[in-house]
A and B are shown apart, each in its own frame.
Chain A
Amino acid sequence: MIILKIKEKGLYIEIPGITPFRTPAEVNITHVSIPLVASKLQSQGIFKYEIISDTKGKEKKYTNKDFVKKKRIENSPEERISALENLILNLIDKIPSNQNNNEEQINKKLDQIEKLIKKQPKQKIVKWTPDPEFITKDKDVIKKNSNLKTNPEIEEIFIPTVNVDVMKIKGDSSKITTEQDNADIDEAADLLSQIGKRK
């Protein structure tokens, strides 16, 4: 059996192959592939979870860390340009002084440098400017453009829809029935109604 455990409260999670559920929860995901579960959770921004696989008494635990792709460490564009400058300087230094007049040699080196420069990312380094849709004032972000589409009510999104058409209830043995006096109820409702009107 493979169990997915999420302790964080208040998340509504949809994973293909299992009924959508709300956290905190422990869900049986035996019939769903573990990488699929991990990628779905990651796409929904959920990183704190445990997947416990118990096969023939051997328990294995997986967390988000087990599924994170190890990213290649990339230097910033400034660092790369600086490295390239050093490379060019080194190349120029390596040109022997007695070949100073050898145009062919120099052109060859310059071609190499051009190639290197062309391989650099096309990304521009620009100064960050705030989004024109927002202006900041006293730390509060104020929305400037009122025509922006508003999101649906948060409550509406999180209240689950109920569909019990596919479920059936059988038997009638669980109900207990108590008699009540309806005359008293009507009198009380009349009085409450009158008091309500006086307010």
Chain B
Amino acid sequence: MREKKEIEKNILCLGCDIGTMHICCARSDSDKINTTRNVFLPLDNDNINISDLSDLSYVRSEDDELYVIGSDAFKFANIFGKEVSRPMESGLISAKEIDAIDILTLMLKDLIGDVKDKEAYVSYSVPAEAIDNKRSVTYHENVFGSIFKTLGINCTSINEAMAIIYSECVKEHFTGIAISFGAGMANVAVSYKGTEALTFSTARSGDWIDKQVADSLGMVANRVTGIKEKYMKLTGPIENKNKKTKRVLEALYYYHKALIEYTVKQIIKEFDERIDIEIDEKLPIVISGGTSLPTGFTKLFKEVISGYDIPFEISEIRRAKNPLTAVANGLLIRTISDVKNMAK
């Protein structure tokens, strides 16, 4: 446990990464980052006994509706071949799921833990406006602002990819390019000495890959996600002997490559159109997010980008230390920094 100025003053700093597939929370008074899957599964209560749920995390609503939440919902859905409900889609709060906000609030409350008697501050992640999707982030940003206020926490929204810069580009004094390949979106930030020079997102990332593969092979998308997370490698031969799994892994490779190609093209286009300043320094590219987890993703990214004429010089392409928690980590850094500046 840390003994910092914030704790002496009874101030608690938090970093909350609210992703399409995972929610992740880092606290200034803990050495641990908590993560859960941002999914739920409504259950038919007529066929379920509460004793059947003893090992699972679930939510019981006012109307006695039951929802299995987090990783348990995902496992449960895969066993029974069902689609999980997603509180978010394409990086933003879902318009389809009526219960999404209430369930998200409970999941966040549970993940953050106790904030009682503390002056709590949180930076939470928001995506940049997508260049290939018309959905605005305003509603999403305000809904989460409202949720944190309900939980009694002072909040600020921070661009998701900028959070990766705070977490992973310390040695470059927060200069670099961060790409967060999440589930719903790919978020990109170009930062110069901690200042946003360019941020944008594309609506293609992990979910897009899973949907394309599922459509191509006539499967349920979360079954594809399951196979991807269990067996996917982007280097070397496919070792799995099951013919169907092999087909899925082949298709996954093609779509991973297509996703990287698409993102690189968008970076070049946006850099050419929107960056006015001359950056003399070579820029590191940091790759993060759950979709970048398969072995060989960074190598494949390097191979793809080497085929393009890039409008800036690259010093290094590296993966975040922990692609799943880098955003939460960066958000916590930003909260602590803001609180320190506020105190002075």
Size of the B side of the interface (Cβ < 8 Å), in residues, is: 64
Q: Known: A25-B98, A188-B167. Is A169-B341 also a contact (CB below 8 A)? A: no
Q: Known: A162-B150, A164-B109, A196-B341. Is A170-B95 also a contact (CB below 8 A)? A: no
| CB <8 Å contact, A171 and B61 | no
Is there a chain A Cβ closer than 8 Å to B155's Cβ?
Answer: no
Is there a chain A Cβ closer than 8 Å to B45's Cβ?
Answer: no
Q: Which of B93-129 contact A (CB under 8 A)?
A: 95-96, 98, 101-102, 105-107, 109-111
The distance in angstroms between the C-alpha atoms of A186 and B61, with both chains bound, is 40
- Segment of A98-106, A138-146, A174-182 engaged in the interface with chain B: A174-182
Is there a chain B Cβ closer than 8 Å to A151's Cβ?
Answer: no
The distance in angstroms between the C-alpha atoms of A178 and B37, with both chains bound, is 14
| CB <8 Å contact, A159 and B146 | yes
The distance in angstroms between the C-alpha atoms of A24 and B95, with both chains bound, is 6
Contact with A along B84-95 (1 / 0, CB 8 A): 000000000001
Query: With contacts defined as CB atoms under 8 Å apart, how many contacts are there between chain A and chain B in the complex?
Result: 160
Contact with B along A1-22 (1 / 0, CB 8 A): 0000000011000000001011
**What 18 additional pairs, Cβ within 8 angstroms, besides A169-B107, A176-B34, A180-B33?**
A22-B95, A159-B139, A167-B60, A167-B62, A167-B102, A167-B106, A168-B59, A168-B60, A169-B69, A170-B53, A170-B60, A171-B55, A177-B32, A177-B34, A191-B174, A196-B194, A199-B194, A199-B195
B residues lining the A interface (CB < 8 Å)? 2, 4, 26, 28, 31-37, 53-62, 69-73, 95-96, 98, 101-102, 105-107, 109-111, 138-139, 142-143, 145-147, 150, 166-167, 170, 173-174, 193-195, 322, 324-325, 329, 332-334, 336-337, 340-341
